[in-house]
Amino acid sequence: MQLARQLASRGQIRAAMAAARTSSALSNSSQLRMARALLPSAPVRSFSVSEAAAFSPPPRRNLSVAATPNAEPLRQLHGVEEAVEVIDALPAINTKLMLTCEHASVRLPEPWQWPSGDSRLLGMHWSHDAGADEFTRELSKRLPSVAVLARFSRLLCDANRPLGSDTMFRKEADGKPVQLNSDLNDTEIQRRVDTLYKPYHRALKNVAEVVKPSLVLSVHSFTPEYEGQPREVEIGVLYKHDKDRALADKFMAAYAAIGVRVALNEPWSAKEGFAYAADQFNSLTCASIMLELRQDLAVQQDWRQKVLQATIQVLNEAGHK
User: Residues 35, 13: contact at Cβ < 8 Å?
Assistant: yes
pLDDT confidence of residue 74 = 65
User: How many other C-beta atoms are found inside a 10 Å radius of the C-beta of residue 211?
Assistant: 24
The angle at the Cα of 247, spanning 245 to 252, to the nearest 5 degrees, equals 90
**What rounded mean pLDDT belongs to the chain?**
82
Distances (CA, A) of 309 to 129, 278, 287, 303, 315: 21, 22, 21, 10, 10
- Give the separation between CA 169 and CA 285, rounded to whole angstroms: 33
pLDDT confidence of residue 71 = 61
pLDDT confidence of residue 90 = 67
Mean pLDDT computed over 100-113: 96
* DSSP element (H, E) containing 255: helix 245-257
225, pLDDT greater than 80: yes
- Give the separation between CA 147 and CA 149, rounded to whole angstroms: 7
Q: What confidence tens digit (pLDDT) does each residue in 41-87 have?
A: 434 343 343 443 333 333 333 333 334 456 666 666 777 889 999 99
Mean pLDDT lowest among 20-34, 48-62, 130-144, 265-279: 48-62
**Superfamily for domain range 64-317:** Zn-dependent exopeptidases (3.40.630.40)
- Give the separation between CA 228 and CA 220, rounded to whole angstroms: 21
Mean pLDDT computed over 170-194: 94
158, pLDDT greater than 60: yes
pLDDT confidence of residue 254 = 98
Mean pLDDT computed over 5-10: 40
Task: Write out the DSSP string of 101-114.
Answer: ETT------TT---
Say if strands 97-101 and 146-150 run parallel, antiparallel, or are unpaired.
Answer: parallel
- Give the separation between CA 244 and CA 249, rounded to whole angstroms: 9
User: How many other C-beta atoms are found inside a 10 Å radius of the C-beta of residue 67?
Assistant: 10
Per the rule left: phi > 0, alpha: psi between -120 and 50, beta: everything else, 227 is left
Confidence of residue 123 (pLDDT cuts 50, 70, 90): confident
196, pLDDT greater than 60: yes
User: Residues 236, 291: contact at Cβ < 8 Å?
Assistant: yes
- What pTM was computed for the model? 0.77
Distances (CA, A) of 272 to 165, 240, 258, 265, 316: 13, 8, 29, 9, 29
User: Residues 171, 127: contact at Cβ < 8 Å?
Assistant: no
Domain residue extents for the chain: 2-55, 64-317
> Which of 201, 230, 66, 86 is closest to 149 using CA atoms?
86
